Amino acid sequence: MDPISSIPTVTQREQWTVEEMVSEIYQLFSSVPHHAQTIMLELRRDQHIEFLTRGLRQLGPSFRVLDANRPWLCYWILHSIALLGESIFSDLENNSIDFLNRCQDPDGGYGGGPGQLPHLATTYAAVNALMTLGGQKALSSINRDKMRTFLLRMKDPSGGFRMHDGGEMDVRACYTAISVASVLNILDPELVENVGNYILSCQTYEGGIAGEPGSEAHGGYTFCGLATMILINESQRLDLRSLIDWVAFRQGVECGFQGRANKLVDGCYSFWQGAVFALIQRLNSIIVEQLRALDVGGSLSWRSICTGAASNLSEGECGSDVKSYQTDERFHAKQKEFSDIGLNFIKIPAELGPLFHSVALQQYILLCSQVQDGGFRDKPGKHRDYYHTCYCLSGLAVCQYSWCKDADSPPLPKAVLGPHSNLLEPIHPLFNVVLHRYYEAHNFFMGS
């Protein structure tokens, strides 16, 4: 053996360190009595609410580095509180709405703070935060006419979107723009034109989606790309089989997800990767058509995809034979308008169980990412923050509802790891807002 090739790389050393820390936690968990395991798996609701509410009221001076991300802080905190089924005091609600209104640019969009230039990322965060708050005051504060003007200004002739005036163009920009337009009922052919071509150019040989053409597939961009293609009714253009393969292999021995090949596990990908499967579960008919197109010798079936993935609750629950999956005309029909795609999508029955190990992912979130004093972290050894709290809780919700046949059904008891008090509110996986707030916003803007 070449002596140089036997020297561990920095990446290998870091991976071994993480595996050792996670293994120690799992060994401790397996060594204690059942009642102690239940306590270890308990979602620390009170501590999380205290941590989140404190951040909404006052942030310390160390947060000055996030001055251009203040709508994000609002969204991460408000969404986390909503996932826990709690609401905030009226003074905090009014203060949040007033603050976000000060971040709204006179020419459309939202900046990272009052007086800052409008940016698609903070626009998405602000709209999601206001949607999470709900109610007339929050929803009516969004200037939809100016928003459409801003989104069109960000549109690039190539089909993609730029994050801000003169800014970078990537898949994240496409998703944030299309998501906002969909929610506000201002999505139209002019905004959608050639977006699908740009997203398609970012799907890599690996199967995942990169931030821009020629880059490496990444979990966050894969979610953004797939969600965008669904919202513009072009998901059938992606190679969904290779996309499923790539995402499935991102769940590692730690039970959590990594964002890219040969990278470390990170709690935030519980949503970014996990939610991809929540979307895939409602694309049965499209995937079956792609399999049929490939199935020259008759060896491929939807079951072969299922059994190759982590079917984790019981044998045989993965799905039926291909013949059971008929084309869903509600999704496939040529849309004259884009306003109802988000609503129609969530109403499509999930005829397939999760293609990832949902119970194992909950184990990683609750035992390795959860901080006992409140909040969630990337991985053991890291500090808690509002970003990881938001996306760990979002990923936990994805897991808990991953076996539901339809969006409005309660989850199976066996799908929720730990005590039933761990159950969170369901989310709309395309937008990552709690479902009942999405319904409220949809009805509000459809009537505007």
- The residues annotated with a catalytic role in the active site are 218, 260, 263, 266, 268-269, 378, 385, 388
Q: Closest Cα partner for 83 from 409, 397, 401?
A: 397
Residue 418, strand partner residues: none
- Residue 384 CB neighbour total at 10 angstroms: 19
Do 260 and 215 contact (CB within 8 A), yes or no?
Answer: no
Give the C-alpha separation, 48 to 372, whole Å: 9
Query: What DSSP character marks residue 126?
Result: H
Do 133 and 92 contact (CB within 8 A), yes or no?
Answer: no
Backbone angles phi, psi at 150, to 5 degrees: -65, -45
- Residue 262 CB neighbour total at 10 angstroms: 9
Structure tokens at 237: 């253009």
Kindly tell me the burial class for residue 30, based on how many C-beta atoms sit within 10 Å of its own C-beta (0-12, 13-18, 19 or more): exposed
> DSSP readout, 43-74?
--HHHHHHHHHHHHH---GGGGGGGGGHHHHH
Give the C-alpha separation, 291 to 285, whole Å: 10
Three-state DSSP state, 111: strand
Q: Closest Cα partner for 405 from 285, 317, 304?
A: 317
CB neighbour list of residue 357: distance below 8 Å, 6 or more residues apart: 251, 255, 310, 312
Structure tokens at 111: 């900046």
Give the C-alpha separation, 406 to 424, whole Å: 16
